[in-house]
Structure 1
Amino acid sequence: MTEDNIAKHGKKGTFQISCFYVGEALCGIDIGFVQEINKQVLLTSVPHSPDYVVGIMNLRGKIVTIIDLGKKLGIESTANITDDTRIIIVNSKQEFIGFLVNKVTDVVVADRENVSPAPSNIKGVKGKFFQGVYKYKNKLVAILDVEEVLENE
């Protein structure tokens, strides 16, 4: 991770990554952004919304916009709902947003100093959407930059 990213995303040391799949891409989010992981996929569609907005849901009285993370990242859609499909609710700028993902896997404890800069392209996704990559069990976890993904919201 570059010094700029360390300064921007936290101090040196360890942090936890909630890992999930979007299509074939293994991704992760710094657990500090994650409010909860929800199996509920009963959504209300929103007319005239961008194609990556699959709908909204009521989460204990709060309206949460649900984004098809696959479409937002420019890879395959995650809107094909299965038993593994989950919605990762994140808190960004005092607003709850849900990312529709194919499957949630592990929570990984990572050392910030072992996070490498994101390549320009990860499984067909532009590197700008990621803070970096972390090697875990012979796999690379692409760490999502939540603010960058939501920049055009």
Structure 2
Amino acid sequence: MALQEAAEHLRALQAEQATFTEQRDRKKSSKQEDVIYHQWATFKVDNELYGVDVIQVKEVLRYSEITPVPGADSYILGIINLRGNVVTVIDTRRLFGLMSNEPDDDTRVIVVEYNENEVVGLVVDNVDEVINIPQKSVDRAPNLAGDESTKKFVQGVCYHQGILTILLDLPKMLQSVTPVDASSSDDLF
């Protein structure tokens, strides 16, 4: 009789332990699901680390000859031919209000998708890496003193491995520097 009672008691303890373990595992997995990571392609301009949404990056090119466009804004370096497609190339230094720099071996052109029909090249000092940042780690952009147009480019900031990374809102940045839709200019004539 005592042996049978001990066996039942042991089964009850095992069932209780299994229930406890299952609940603990569910809590762990639900906490893990709460963490959402976002990938950013990072690059440097004037020794500052910037990031853009990796999904928008099509490719990274070595700096090569860029054909100037007469009458273009100062931050537009010109155009390049990329496999039969014309790509407008923007100097991020000028766009950010920094002094231009002579291209060197580290200078790259990051080709990004602006919208479904257009790609734009961004000239940067060098390309760093693709990083995963938990969405919770991204802070709102601080209220910066200075040029209003540059502030609206910043989506947020975060520290990754102890280094401040400025996360750019690429659609807003490119929308502010590209011309208004051509169909609206037809209405003027």
Instruction: Please give the range of the TM-score, normalised by the shorter of the 2 chains.
Output: 0.7 to 0.9
Deviations 1:1-50 (A, max 9, x none): xxxxxxxxxxx711111111111221011101100111142111100000
Equivalent residue in structure 2 for 1:148, among 166, 172, 175? 172
With structure 1 as the length reference, what TM-score do the two structures score?
Answer: 0.85
Within 5 Å, which residues of 2 pair with 1:111-122? 111-121=134-144
Decide whether the 8 Å contact of 2:63 with 2:107 is kept in 1.
no
Q: What is the Cα deviation at residue 128 of structure 1? A: 1.5
Match of 2:96 among 60, 73, 77: 73
* Structure richer in helix, relative to its length: 2
The total of aligned residue pairs comes to 141
Assess, with a 3 A threshold, how the Cα gap between structure 1 residues 76 and 120 changes in structure 2: closer, same or farther. Answer: farther
- Percent identical among aligned pairs is 33
Residues 1:131 and 2:155 aligned together:
yes
Cα–Cα, structure 1 residues 122 and 36, in superposed 2: closer, same or farther, change >3 Å? farther
CA-CA distance at 1:98 after TM superposition: 0.4
User: 2:69 aligned with 1:49, yes or no?
Assistant: no
Q: Which runs of 5+ in 2 are unaligned?
A: 1-34, 179-189
Aligned to 2:50: 27
2:90 matches 1:84: no
Please state whether the residue corresponding to 1:126 is helix, strand or coil: helix
Structure number with larger C-alpha Rg:
2
2:108 corresponds to which letter in structure 1?
Answer: R
Q: Superposition RMSD on alpha carbons, in Å? A: 1.9
**Normalized per residue, which structure has more strand?**
1
